Structure 1
Amino acid sequence: MPQSNQQQASTLHVLVLYGLGFLLLWEWLRPLKEITTTNDIQIFVMYTLFLFIVTYFQLPFWISFPVKLGALLYALHSLYFFDVFLSFKWVPYLIEDIQYNLGLFADRNWNDMTSLTRSLLFFVLLWLVSYLMHYWLVQTRRIFLFFLITVIYISILDTFTVYDAKFAIIRTVFIGLILIGILRMMKIIETQGFSLLKGKFPILWVAPLSGVIALSSVLGYVAPKASPIWPDPVPFIQNMSGKEDEEGLGKGSGIAKIGYGENDSQLGGPFQFDYTPIFKTYDNGRHYWRIETKEFYTGKGWENKIPTQAVAVEPEIPDADTNYTRIWEDGLQMKDHKARIEAEKGKEYSFLMIPGKLKSIKGGSETNFQLNGVSGKISTFRAGKEEKLSAYEMEYQLPVIKEEQLRASTNQYPGHITENYLQLPESLPQRVKDLAQNVTANQPNIYDKVKTVEGYFAKNAYGYNTIEVAVPKGKEDYVDQFLFETKKGYCDNFSTSMVVMLRSIGIPARWVKGFTPGTFEALNDGLREYTVTNANAHSWVEVYFSGIGWVPFEPTRGFDNPFQPEEDRQSSAPAAAVPDQPKKPEKDLAPDDAASNKDSNSGLTLKSAGMGIAILAGVNVLIAGLAFLFRRKWLRQYTIWHFKRKQGSETFEDAFERLLWLLRVYGIKRRPAFTLREYALYVDRELDTKDMRILAKAYEGVQFSPNKRTDLWNDFHRELWENLIKRIRP
């Protein structure tokens, strides 16, 4: 009996050790969602927990190994494959993927490894670490080194990344100290020969230990702390290095940005993405979320120079606009929309996201709204103080504009437009103006000039880059540096350059800040749900067209303008009939002459017919050759036109398969080892979207469903499909 109690206590010891060891290892997995592109962290956590459970039961190797291997394959299957696990249809793809990556290993080409193999290696790593945890906890009874490395790992992430480790440090220290205390207690018991209190788990030892550690952690958290000597060690370390990068930009002089900011007087420097969600939107329109505009370009960045006063906005009829904040002119055809915004806890703003022309705002009975008469920013107040709204609703309008309206617009601008939105600094280099003139010289109207500048950057291989982005020094101009020196940057570089180029040829334009639509989540009550993160912060361009207003344009590579004017629809008239030529009557001819003339005409007719057929065949061959050579120019438009009005249960499948074919034609090919989901992720990375994975998931659902769904070819999926095709570049 005492021996049985001893074994029971020992087993309970090991169970507690395994539980605490798993919690300590979990702290290594928590940051991955924020510092990497890994989304399904819970699968890795559940797999690790399963490994600990199997190891705890100490099964024979011939049982534990296949069980753990089966769990690994099932976890991989749940991440990358849609078919049934036991069908084993996915196994050939897995084998092909491994073979493909073995070749990459041999060539030491780590960058081209597929996500499937990366995940496989990570699962194997977790397997090895779980074994090491068993070795440290049960055999050597030493965990301090792993505990210390965990603390260092979390501290580094908290310092140099967006991961907030405030509570992670507390959890890690608490778990680690309890583990060290229990292991020390067990060593004393084993070496000194103490009994385990008649077979019972020594709760009288563990309870005081836990209480002291918990009390120390709480006191350490709430106690006053001295301010840090270096508020941010990253700039300090960079400045101490004194090195410069290839662009001649001091590493310590970079301007790191996360999300939306208000100071744009000095643009440039690296942009640090932060995927922390800040608000959700429920909307039946698709648009950018406008916050403010800026009109004065300094050569280094943007400011507002026009004197302004705050204007009160009535929630029910928010029409208190000014000459500078009026987006659309009167008389346009408008379409009504509605939206609801819900901010994440702790991420509220004291201003509104504006989708278009507001009709009404609902943000609380005591909330007041004030409009900045120049930037268009609407701030929220309550009792005279800024109020950060957690949720608000609005009704708004977006215009329906045709390209022919834009092309017909003239350069007859109001005085306040020409006075403020053609401004350029005197120091702007002449080559910037010359470039704008040369690019647009052959365009017949304002709209075509604007579209030419908008597409100039993509056609001339300007790169989208958020890391190696220079800051202009001395008398360098921000736009000049981007256009002629670095030729790489992010939205601020592209949008500012387009505004400056348009202004230099006499077209009024301004700089706009806000957020992109965000990531689609679901459909709720007829409204599309989107999640907007700090990484969705964006800047774009608005151009003024006489009689229409401010029209948004998107020059940044990889971004798709949600506002698109309707294309011109010109009906082609049928060709006019050619009148018959008068014939010479045959009755005036002699019989022999008539017969001779008949034979002669027959010969000519045969020769003419043969020549006509040859010419027609040549023309057809020429047209076919030209169509083949320039197929990348017209295939996208033809595909969109072909599927736009089709209906039926098979339409979505046909459209998706045509999309796969187009991607292959345009060079975005699917590797043999890619599953459909992995290929969708690859396409989204190439086109900088998240639309392909949504369509792929819907397509897989159709493939494995016994009943064909007729509602998949709806406005939402059609819009995602069309946007993907438009993003494909010839």
Structure 2
Amino acid sequence: MTSQQEKKFDVSSLFLYVLGFLLLSEWLRPVEQLTDTANIGVFVIFLIVSFALSYFKVNIFLGTFIKVLYILYALQNLYLQGSFFGFGWIGELISVFQRNIASVFDADWTNLSDLFRSFLFFVLLWLMTYLIQYWLINRRQIFIFFFMTLVYVTVLDTFTPYEADHAIVRTVICGFAIMGMLTFYRIIDKEKIKKEFSFSKRWMIPLATMIGLSVIVGYAAPKADPIWPDPVPYIKSYSKDSGTGGSSVSKVGYGTDDSRLGGPFIGDNEIVFRAEVDSRHYWRIETKDVYTGKGWVESQIGEERVPFTQDQPVPFSNLTGEAIETEERISSVFAFSQYPHLIYPLGLKKVQADANYTFEVDSAIEKIYSLDRTSVSPLEEYHLTFDSPRFSVTAMKAGDQNPIDTALLQQYTQLPENLPQRVKDLALEITEGEETLFDKARAVERYFGRNEYAYDQQNVAVPGMNDDYVDQFLFETKRGYCDNFSSSMVVLLRSVGVPARWVKGYTEGEYSGVAPSGKRFFNITNNNAHSWVEVYFEGVGWVPFEPTQGFSNNVQFNFDETTTSTNTETPEQEEQPEQEKPENAEETDQTSSSSFSFEKLFNSMKEFFVKHWGKILIYLALIGLAGFILYKLRLKWLPRLILLRFKLLKKDEDFVKAYLVLLKQLDRYGLKRKNNQTLREYARYIDHFFSSREMGRLTSRYERYLYNGHLEEGSWKESKELWENLIKKTIA
């Protein structure tokens, strides 16, 4: 083959690469319009660089280096501070990757940072350029990718705001041109025809003419009206006319109308607000007190709102008892959505915001509104002072001895007259043998941990005309989300005379980093919208409970059954005078640090590596091999190591550590605990597998520790043999 023929053939390959790039770019065009992705040009340039490296057949190692260098430069330029060649950003980049890789292993996809998402997008484009090069040059086939691109742009055109009229035309032109050229090359390869330019011209000119005429005719020809009506509106509205009660699929988030609950919903990851907090906690908005059989409403509609200013305490209190241990904290809210109400934690005391704002509270539902002078107006930023409580179980149980206010008891034990009797019977069955209100509340809360109840956002029924919402969930469907679980707990408690109410708000949200103040940032999205239960205890106030499977509202209970003084000081606790730092301490630190040189350390390490690099590689390989063998044989030696570790331990507190280690070892052995499986159910599974009763006895003791808050004397001594037997059974 002559150099001229090679040049002609290279030009035709260049056309293939250009058309492949144009086809792949159709996948990128809608991204900027339909998502939060910006700077799409950075990714387009990466595609051009990747195709150019492939076309010029650059060495794979050099090509990889160039691509990696470009990706690092793009990520540093978009997300990190400083100069690229200053290299100060490398530490921050490694830290970001460590956090995000941990989120990947935890399947916490919503917590991935934008930097890491961009990195994954670069990797995806890298793979796609390789696949297109493989399809074009090696396989000579592109139909599947062409067809997928057509489906992609047409689906986006149908179901999203993206207008794909021109995209479809561009895709058809590129697709048919590529397929025509690849068909030509397959024929000449099969027939072993010499690749001459004159022969290629006789094929390519008719191909280009046919594609051009088809496009012109398609544009110029009159278009007939559609024969059938557009099916898309019907598909989108199908759910509105289907299902029980004709309910549609809703989008998750906070809403004000709770009179008809039920039905599935779809997720929404839009951020509602960002919180700067000391520790995780739930966020309240309002409460509801009247259960109708279909949902919740408030009993005192239109009650006059109580105004207050930033200098005044909030004119209601969830925590009324002196027996509660509290710690004053401050959380800050940075709103993304324009809501006229505040979002606040339990125990709220004061609100601080822009000086022009005042507040008013609907005390019937404890909902707080922000006002810009006289009109309701949303706040973008505000700070909340609140008491973080630790509830005394002793005080809650002792509260039963004091009568609850008759009006409050009547309001928060309300139930509809037509509530099915089997709901009340179930409440009596659950709380049978429980003497105090606290024990009854915990019994009902634990009841929903049974395996027959499942958390589900999709297969959720809507009660019909003659159905009760709670009754349907408790006895028929047993599938639902927070509204089902929380409403059912309130109704069951009210059925046995325990005052309870329904609360709406948000869960803690997703951790997003450390604030400059040292506190932690959490992003709260519509997906965090939630409902839970509050139970009233005389002398304590309203205490939150969480019946929904998979959720925990971080409420702290003090399970001490004896009253102890918290103000007694011992001589050891007295404040010691602060030791003065020597005046020349800073000087000494500087002198000692100056004797250290990173350059000397680097040079010595470099010299050592150059001199012994062969031995180092051998040692590393041997260490890696030894580590691999130890990992593969871990079921033989690790249980024995665990037994040796706990052999000499004698304290009762060691039982808890040993039980948790046992759970990890059983999981390592292959006896994995299923999602939503309780410890008791898991223990039955283990005992059935080993034909023993040891795990059940250990789990029973561990559950008593969880609910009582302390271990019985001799717990570890009595359980040690059972524990050792189970560990030994996991030795492979």
Tell me the TM-score normalised to structure 2 length: 0.57
Q: For 1:288-341, what per-residue CA distance to the aligned partner results, in whole angstroms no more than 9, with x for missing partners?
A: 1000000000000000122411111212323223xxxx3111534421011111
Equivalent position of 1:263 in the other structure: 257
Provide the residue aligned with 2:330 in structure 1.
338
Structure 2 contact 271–526 (Cα < 8 Å) conserved: yes
After superposition, what is the alpha-carbon deviation per residue over 1:374-403, rounded to whole angstroms, capped at 9, x for unaligned? 111112232544322222222111223211
Query: Which residue of structure 2 aligns with residue 315 of structure 1?
Result: 310
> Aligned partner of 1:539: which letter?
S
Q: Which amino acid aligns with 1:278?
A: V
Partners of 1:467 and 1:546 in 2: CA distance? 39
2:382 and 2:410 map into 1 onto residues whose CA distance is 36
| Distance in 2 (alpha carbons) for counterparts of 1:639 and 1:130 | 65
Q: Which digits, 9 at most, give the CA deviation of each residue in 1:342-379, with x for residues without a partner?
A: 233xx332211111233332232222322112111112
- Tell me, in whole angstroms, the C-alpha distance in 1 between the residues paired with 2:437 and 2:410: 19
Deviations 1:583-605 (A, max 9, x none): xxxxxxxxxxxxxxxxxxxxxxx
Tell me the residue number matched to 1:278: 272
Alignment counterpart, residue 515 of structure 1, candidates 506, 517, 521: 506
Residue of structure 1 aligned with 2:488, choices 491, 497, 501: 497
Q: Which string of whole-angstrom CA distances, capped at 9 and with x for unpartnered residues, describes residues 115-148 of structure 1?
A: xxxx9x9999847853488589999899985553
Q: Deviations over 1:555-584 (max 9, x none)?
A: 111111211212216599xxxxxxxxxxxx
Structure 1 residue 239: Cα displacement: 6.1
CA contact (8 A) 2:313 2:349 kept: yes
Question: Equivalent of 1:364, from 335, 339, 354?
Answer: 354
One-letter amino acid matched to 1:366: N
1:456-514 CA distances to partner (integer Å, 9 max, x unpaired)?
Answer: 11135311111111111011111111111111111111100110011111110000000
SS of 1:23 mapped into structure 2: helix
Q: Report the counterpart of residue 372 of structure 2 in structure 1.
A: 382
Structure-2 change in CA distance of 1:192 and 1:384 (3 Å): farther
Spell out the pairing of 1:561-710 with structure 2 (5 A cutoff). 561-568=553-560, 661-665=662-666, 668-669=667-668
**Aligned pair 1:149/2:151, yes or no?**
yes
Identity of aligned residues (%): 32
Q: What secondary structure, in the 3-state scheme, does the structure 2 residue paired with 1:435 have? A: helix
Structure 1 unaligned segments of length 5 or more: list them: 35-40, 76-118, 160-164, 196-212, 214-227, 573-637, 645-654, 673-681, 689-721
Could you state the TM-score of these two structures normalised by the residue count of structure 1? 0.57
Q: Secondary structure at the match of 2:250?
A: coil
Q: Within 1, Cα distance between the matches of 2:57 and 2:676?
A: 44
Structure 1 residue 2: Cα displacement: 12
Q: Retained in 1: the 8 A contact 2:294–2:468?
A: yes
| Distance in 2 separating the partners of 1:639 and 1:368 | 56
1:30 and 1:55 mapped to 2: Cα distance? 22
2:347 touches 2:388 (CA, 8 Å); kept in 1? Answer: yes
Task: Give the conservation status (yes or no) of the 8 Å contact 1:17–1:137.
Answer: no
- Tell me which moved more, 532-541 or 252-261: 252-261
Aligned to 1:306: 300
Is the alpha carbon distance of 1:153 and 1:178 closer, same or farther for their aligned partners in structure 2, counting shifts above 3 Å? closer
What is the one-letter code of the residue matched to 2:348? L
For the 8 Å contact 2:390–2:555, the answer to whether it is kept is no
1:214-258 deviation digits (Å, cap 9, x = unpaired): xxxxxxxxxxxxxx9999645633467x6x6xxxx37x5345242
CA displacement 1:658-679 (0-9 Å, x = unmatched): 85653444xx55869xxxxxxx
SS at match of 2:448: helix
Cα distance change, pair 489–32 in 1 and its aligned pair in 2 (3 A): farther
Gaps of 5+ in 2: 72-120, 182-199, 206-218, 220-228, 565-649, 679-705, 711-732
Tell me whether 1:405 sits opposite 2:395 in the alignment: yes
Q: In the alignment, is residue 433 of structure 1 matched against residue 424 of structure 2?
A: yes
Q: Against the structure 1 CA distance between its residues 57 and 378, is the aligned structure 2 distance closer, same or farther, given a 3 Å change threshold?
A: same
Q: C-alpha displacement at 1:520, in angstroms?
A: 1.8
Residues of 2 paired with 1:494 and 1:483: CA distance? 9
Query: Aligned partner of 1:348: which letter?
Result: Q
Q: Which residue of 1 aligns with 2:90?
A: none
Query: Alpha carbons of 1:335 and 1:485: their partners in 2 closer, same or farther (altered >3 Å)?
Result: same
**Deviations 1:612-668 (Å, cap 9, x if unpaired)?**
xxxxxxxxxxxxxxxxxxxxxxxxxx9995599xxxxxxxxxx8x985653444xx5
The letter for the 2-side match of 1:313 is: F
CA root-mean-square deviation: 5.4
Structure 1 SS opposite 2:556? coil
1:463 is matched with: 454
| Secondary structure at the counterpart of residue 150 of structure 1 | helix
| 1:291 alignment counterpart | 285
- 8 Å Cα contact 1:230-1:236 kept in structure 2: no
Instruction: Give the corresponding residue for 1:611.
Output: none
User: Which of 382, 407, 422 is the equivalent residue of 1:416?
Assistant: 407
Matched, 1:484 2:475: yes
Instruction: Report what 2:647 is aligned to.
Output: none
Cα pair 2:390 2:556 within 8 Å, conserved:
no
Report the CA distance shift for 1:125/1:509 in structure 2 as closer, same or farther (over 3 A).
same
Q: What is the letter of the counterpart of residue 380 of structure 1?
A: S
User: Counterpart of 1:88?
Assistant: none
CA distance in 1, matches of 2:393, 2:251: 37
Secondary structure, aligned partner of 1:339: strand
Which of 499, 503, 526 is the equivalent residue of 2:518? 526
